[in-house]
Structure 1
């Protein structure tokens, strides 16, 4: 079977799983997409790790655009988007999301894989042990920019929307949780747009990229994931009303630990 077609078919299934978890637990799909794509690109498209790792991250970012638009619209209607937070975190995020891909495509691929796995472990720990605890600082423009830069950098290196980083950070600044989640939803759109564009530029002249790639974005995977995740996200959101999502988050965190350890161990 043609490798591009195989990736497309597998990513249709992957997108369904990603959308379900996104709607059910409110987590970004990049934590599932990146390791899955890394395997597909190495084993079936036969790309070296040096190309497959940034391509998995870039493709993951590209899938976030549509879901982030939909989520941002919903939070706008609910009144959860506040200009003050969007402006200053958005400024930082746009800078971080441009810097991150340039960094990701210049460091050794093995180091990038290890960094990704380590950050997944940190996020898994945050999901289990920290939850959504508020802390004791007041918000400022400068602090919001710093939060944005850090979120944009880490998220664009990991191929995720950034909610797992931004929401706890904003709660630490005494921001209302609804506003924090709305800001994180909009931030995912900024990260996806700037990060994807930066990965396209970074890989534009790379002669080792496969057919159907635009820069480091692999279009068959993007199309497959987006096609099904859009529908299953709504199913997951409905299921979240009847299931114990805190227990599910702990189970998912355990899954992330296994994935990250598998990546760390090669």
Structure 2
């Protein structure tokens, strides 16, 4: 009786010899789609670099302390010594109040919807639907709401607090959605381990879930504030187009912001106003980059802990 030998396993049956994804032959459609995505990214990046380079070159002569130390002017003969100090101060006032209003409310709402709310209740489902719909409402609609309700009916007028409330309503859905996604990304095992040790729901949320969700929350908060920082449409309806040569000193002061100041400067035909507008654009971009850098630092710090 002859011994039969088992044939060696083929390379196709052995998972060690299977070709990797990078070794497989790509389909022509996949290659074209990848090239199209890279081309779109390159075009968007090229336009962004071109716009930033144009603003820097155009306003290079005005990127000096005059920009933030001097007040704006409406006379072409004095524009060489003019700046945008009142717009910078007004922007800091409005964005600071916006953060103080929308961040606590948005984070608390996200905690309620994600950790406490019963999704079987009709009012919770209605609340989630409205939040998602409000995220896509145009900003000018919030400006009309602020003009009719906050400025006139409530009587706050065209002041800093009115602008902050309107911008808070504008970016509040973004803060809630981003915070909910950050809470949802925390593993359920962390919550279950905390409950197993006898912690209450609030102790689990405050000491375990929230610290782990801070990186995502901070990123969403900074993106929301960056959007509020660049908004001009709702503020046009709320009296920010007025010519301001003083810094706001209270919640009920008149104000202007950098986007509105840039809008007013660009309308002027003189080249000096155009240079000042370009320098203000660069300053606004620097503030935006500083906010995004702060978000990155906060995210990296908390990611090292967790």
Per the TM superposition, whether the score is higher than 0.5 is no
Larger radius of gyration: 2
Whichever structure has more helix as a proportion of its residues is 1
Q: TM-score range by the shorter chain?
A: 0.3 to 0.5
Q: Which has the higher contact order (CA 8 A, sep 6+)?
A: 1
TM-score of the two chains, using structure 2 as the length reference: 0.31
TM-score of the two chains, using structure 1 as the length reference: 0.34
